[in-house]
Amino acid sequence: MTDTPGMNLENIQHHALEALAAVRTGDDLAQWRVTHLGRSSAVMAVFSGLGKLPADIRPQTGQKANQVKLELEAAFEEKVVQIRQSELSVSLQTNRVDITLPGRPARRGRLHPAMQNLRDIYKVFAEMGFQVYRSPDVETDEYNFELLNIPAHHPARDMWQTFYTTKPGVLLRTHTSPGQIWAMRERAPDSIRVILPGMCYRYEQITTRSEIQFHQVEGLMVGKNVTLADLKGTLTDFSRRMFGQNVRTRFRPSYFPFTEPSAEMDVECFLCGGHGCTVCKNAGWLEILGCGMVHPEVLRNGGYDPEIFSGFAFGMGPERITMLRRHIDDIRYFWGNDMRFLEQF
């Protein structure tokens, strides 16, 4: 005598529950679900074969099969909870946590070494009576060149390898000097004593001392009876406050279209002690800024009468100053985002 479908379903359920009782891990439980509740499982085969059964027992068998399936699913869910609790208990035993200990403090970020140095520069000039003035990174050809006494096709434009945009006459500023015009036009005819920090962009060969993007700090002082002695005294005092009272500096004649006369200021290379290295190009000195008396034409473009007013301007590279102060031998470290370098500051 063959088993009836109902008796077969009871055997299927009994066998499945016995197998479930032996399951101990999540992987085994997943395999049990495939074997006993999947498409190829015995209980699903009963559903597939309902059409072949006599019509008088078909409803009863279908109802029984559905009941077995629901009970197996309920048993499966209960087993899931048991295994999760068991795994959690094991985890707590092997990885005990002392909840009475204070929490670990969140790791705080730091200022980038370039920004630390910029703040030191701001502080020194603030003590000398200079205010911080901001100007745009994206400039027009007029402000970046024309109003600074650098007309179109002037050979001095070759001093700045410029990034131009697709919009005619618009570029990434090559220096912070355009800020002089912005500041003068805003404050004329009053006296000015400002610094203008910001990022500059030049299409240059990247070396140990040159980058395509770098900070500059422009300085501008305009008033009556401002002289070259005021310029030299201001920058010498700045160097002593930044590098120490015994720092050696020198001024060399130079050329900038927007200043007359013009000069460059050097600081003795701290990395080699003046003996010569790759950073100072074996000269023993490192140029940190260009400077000069504001050209009369630039004063006029800024709204000042050069017969009454005079002024001086300078532009310095903070990254080079940081290299001197921190004994850093490669300017590329500043933008390399190497945590081994940044965490030293």
Q: Which residues of 12-38 are buried (b: 16+ CB within 10 A; e: fewer)?
A: bbeebeeebeebeeeeebeebbeebee
Mean predicted lDDT score pLDDT of the chain: 87
66 burial level (CB within 10 Å; 0-12, 13-18, 19+) = middle
Does residue 68 surpass a pLDDT of 80? yes
Q: Which residue has the higher pLDDT, 166 or 2?
A: 166
Q: Which helix (DSSP H) or strand (DSSP E) does residue 263 occupy? A: strand 259-268
Please give the pLDDT value at position 2.
Answer: 46
Peptide bond before 197: cis, by omega within 30 degrees of 0?
A: no
The encoded tokens of residue 123 equal: 């502080």
Confidence of residue 102 (pLDDT cuts 50, 70, 90): confident
Res 156: pLDDT: 78
Q: Of 287 and 210, which is predicted with more confidence?
A: 287
SS3 194: strand
Q: How many angstroms separate the CA atoms of 332 and 226, rounded? A: 38
Instruction: Say if residue 222's pLDDT is above 80.
Output: yes
CA-nearest of 262, 260, 324, 237 to 287 is 324
Q: What is the dihedral of CA 331, 332, 333, 334, to 10 degrees?
A: 70
The β-bridge relationship of strands 192-201 and 213-223 is antiparallel
Q: In this predicted model, what pLDDT tens digit does every residue of 281-333 receive, in sequence order? A: 777 888 889 999 999 999 999 999 999 999 999 999 888 788 777 778 788 88
Please, where are the H alpha helices in 22-164?
26-37, 42-48, 58-94, 113-127, 141-144
Task: List, for residues 134-191, the tens digit of each pLDDT value.
Answer: 999 999 999 999 999 999 888 878 777 889 999 999 999 999 999 999 999 999 999 9
